[in-house]
Amino acid sequence: MNTPLKGACVIGQSGGPTSVINASAYGVIRTALDNENITAVYGAAHGIKGVLADQLYDMSQESADELHLLLNTPSSALGSCRYKIADPDVDDTDYKRIQEVFEKHNVRYFFYNGGNDSMDTCNKISRYFAKSGYECRVMGVPKTIDNDLFGTDHCPGFASAAKYVATSLMEVYRDARVYDTGQITIVEVMGRHAGWLTAASALASHFDCGPDLIYVPEVAFDMEQFLTDVTAIYKKNGYALVAVSEGIHDKDGKLIAEYGGGPEASRDAFGHAQLGGLAATLAAIVKEKTGTKVRGIELSLLQRAAAHLASQTDIDESFLSGKTAVEAAVAGESGKMVGFERDMSSGKYVCKTVLLPLEKVANFEKKLPLEWITPEGNNITKEFIDYALPLIQGEPNRALQESLPRFANLKKVLVK
């Protein structure tokens, strides 16, 4: 187990992208290319689907400079997928195929870069290989703007999205109170079940330019109470700024996004509702009830793609998570996800990596602690600020061409 395995590695990316997921991938790719035990570094096209289709890119064909640009290139450069893999005990078709492809290319290391669902996939593959006896070390490299992976202090990708949310809210705050005629502004932030990212809007309030009210999915949303609260603030100040998680729901579990009377939200391969439109729905309700000017803003894809506003801390940690995964795998680890532990013993924030068993991570969602939500359920406490502020520090030193982003353009040469 502890002898380095000689063989190729595969890195795949899965799930919704983030602005720093490629920094993690680069951590894997760069470290693997430089490791003498790893004979080849392959990128799977669109995650596990690329493995199943034997569509692997040869990373040694890419220039070092172009790969380096991955640090500041948003979205999943190798392509992503949302593919629900079967339970290997029920249907092992996919697993046999994965092993077949891996055997063909002598793949002995598999790194999967994703969120909750991806860690589940990773865990199942790891379990299957343990049972089949195929010697391949499987490691999860986390990413998620949702920050909801279990066992880790925080997740790569969260901080950059949080910084985008906070910065944008500070800017919108100024814009949304520029007229003397009053306005209620409702900003919809991503987050189906966990309110971490919406809570990041409290960072803006911390500097006096943020939302008056914040609603997260951890607490049932009461429409009447909301209307009372937002009206009271509007009457007092002439303005109100509200941040809402896309996944807020009432006490019966009904999504507020579906209050508009529109069609039921469609669902993706994992059964997750395709959300969106909550800001518009809430804005229409508030406008009807109050008669005031109301504007709904959905941060949409912008919040998870805004590499120009990434946290350098997040970029560094994302790279570190990929690098750690490779080093740990070569050293003999398997079936683990790289997690982060916060060390404040020096008086300032230090991030350390830990290895977490995949079966403990997979399919558990880490919610925002209820004690970080105010008793009224409509705001976020100082504890969250102390938690999140160190994570968003540092401005990215991104490459530009004529003042616009210069992203990595990979050649993506397929392995024969």
Q: Is the CB of residue 347 less than 8 Å from the CB of residue 370?
A: no
Residues touching its own copies: how many (CB under 8 A)? Answer: 64
Q: Say which residues have a Cβ less than 8 Å from residue 239's Cβ, sequence separation at least 6.
A: 176, 177, 182, 183, 184, 185, 233
Q: 372, 368, 381, 377: which is closest to 154 by C-alpha? A: 368
Structure tokens at 65: 């400079």
Minimum distance, C-beta of residue 34 to its own copies, in the bound complex (Å): 26
Beta bridge partners of 82: none
Catalytic residue flag (residue 146): yes
Place of tokens 């379990």: 127
Minimum distance, C-beta of residue 233 to its own copies, in the bound complex (Å): 19
Site stretch for its own copies (CB under 8 A), options 95-103, 117-125, 299-307, 338-346: 299-307
Site string for its own copies, 367-406 (x = CB under 8 A): ----------------------x--xxxx----xxxxxxx
Catalytic residue among 120, 146, 148, 314: 146
**Which H helix or E strand runs over 52?**
helix 48-52
Q: Is the CB of residue 410 less than 8 Å from the CB of residue 25?
A: no
Is residue 74 a contact residue for its own copies (CB under 8 A)?
Answer: yes
CA–CA separation, 20 and 26 (whole Å)? 10
Q: Is the CB of residue 156 less than 8 Å from the CB of residue 24?
A: yes
Site residues for its own copies, 303-322, by CB under 8 A, read: 304-309, 311
Site string for its own copies, 196-225 (x = CB under 8 A): -------xx--xxx----------------
- Alpha helix positions (H), 268-337: 278-290, 302-305, 312-330
Site string for its own copies, 131-170 (x = CB under 8 A): --------------------------------x--xxx-x
Structure tokens at 365: 């969602």
Query: Which stretches of the chain bind its own copies, using CB under 8 A?
Result: 17, 19, 45-46, 49, 73-76, 79-82, 163, 166-168, 170-172, 174-176, 178-181, 185, 203-204, 207-209, 276-277, 280, 295, 297-302, 304-309, 311, 389, 392-395, 400-407, 409
